[in-house]
Structure 1
Amino acid sequence: MIDRNDLGSWMEGAPHEPDYVKGSSIGLPAEGPGSVAPFWRRPAALMIDWLLCMGISALAFQGDALANLVLFVVVNVLFLTLFGATPGQFITRTHVVPVTGRSPMILRAFVRTFLMLLLLPAVVWNRDSQPLHDVVAGTAVVTY
């Protein structure tokens, strides 16, 4: 018979490897420029981008909700394709880099942005601190 001690407990947390370095399986350094961005920078950059889009929408489109979404998609796809970072990511000193595959950045940016709007892929993360929308797009958010 299996004992509770054989299975562990939910109180012990998720299984993890103590020596594992986030980003190592996708070829990123452990720390410094090019390493996985700290968690707090992602929501900070997202909030800056949303506030920017909402401000532009309020001025140009009377705050229309659809205009907010369209502006968010345009800002993300345009800035990620041209510069590798959105305005919020520039401010938080992060940028998006391709880590797998050979698809063009415009396609990666569109896939990443579309999945981010679905919300669920943005809250499911892997052990490399990559949300699902980055895994699918083959990108990672790193510091510089």
Structure 2
Amino acid sequence: MASRGDLGSWLNGGNVPPGETPGPDRLGLPSAGTGSRAPLGRRLVALCLDWAVASGISYGFFAYDAGATLAVFAVMNLLLVASVGSTIGHRLLGLRVRRLGVAGEHIVGFGRAAVRTVLLCLVIPAVVWDADGRGLHDRAAGTVIVRR
């Protein structure tokens, strides 16, 4: 009779023989290390940091208006993701946004960043994930958040 230990667990990702590394995930990204999908916790902390920066700017220039904060957040996301591939929060947590399926491509571009930003600001697409852990905003833009 097979035991749970023989089959592995969904918590540890199954059995991988000692000395071997698991292969690429379903998106073709490495399963660990640089270039692998960013974990949810890091992505959420990065989002909170970006919102805090946008709130600070909004407070300084607009006496903290919720609409102004959202606008600052959107502009920050659009410009930073389109040009350097990461927001301030992403950069601090060692993450970046990259195009999916393009080897070595680091620049997301303005069009993809715009789609991603609009859907991120609508909130609902950002909190609905697919089986690979990507939000609908990333699926629509053809992007993924990975470790740097």
* TM-score computed with the length of structure 2 as normaliser: 0.77
* Distance (whole Å) between structure 1 residues aligned to residue 143 and residue 62 of structure 2: 32
Q: Percent sequence identity over matched residues? A: 40
2:65 matches 1:61 = no
Q: Which residue of 2 aligns with 1:118?
A: 122
Q: Which residue of 2 aligns with 1:12?
A: none
Structure-to-structure mapping, 1:23-38, within 5 angstroms: 24-38=25-39
Per-residue deviation, 1:23 = 6.9
* Distance (whole Å) between structure 2 residues aligned to residue 122 and residue 22 of structure 1: 28
Q: Which residue of 1 aligns with 2:110?
A: 106
Per-residue deviation, 1:36 = 0.4
1:121-143 per-residue CA deviation (whole Å, 9 max, x = no partner) reads 11111121111110110000000
**Matching residue's letter, 1:130:** R
1:48-92 per-residue CA deviation (whole Å, 9 max, x = no partner) reads 000000101101111122211110111001100111000000111
Say which structure, 1 or 2, has more relative contact order (CA 8 Å, 6+ apart). 1
3-state DSSP class of the match of 2:26?
A: helix
> RMSD of the TM alignment (CA)?
2.3
Per-residue deviation, 1:26 = 2.1
> Is there any run of 5+ residues in structure 2 with no aligned partner, and where?
1-12, 15-21
> Is there any run of 5+ residues in structure 1 with no aligned partner, and where?
1-17
Higher helix share: 1
**Matching residue's letter, 1:119:** V
3-state DSSP class of the match of 1:24?
A: coil
* TM-score computed with the length of structure 1 as normaliser: 0.79
Q: Which residue of 2 aligns with 1:141?
A: 145
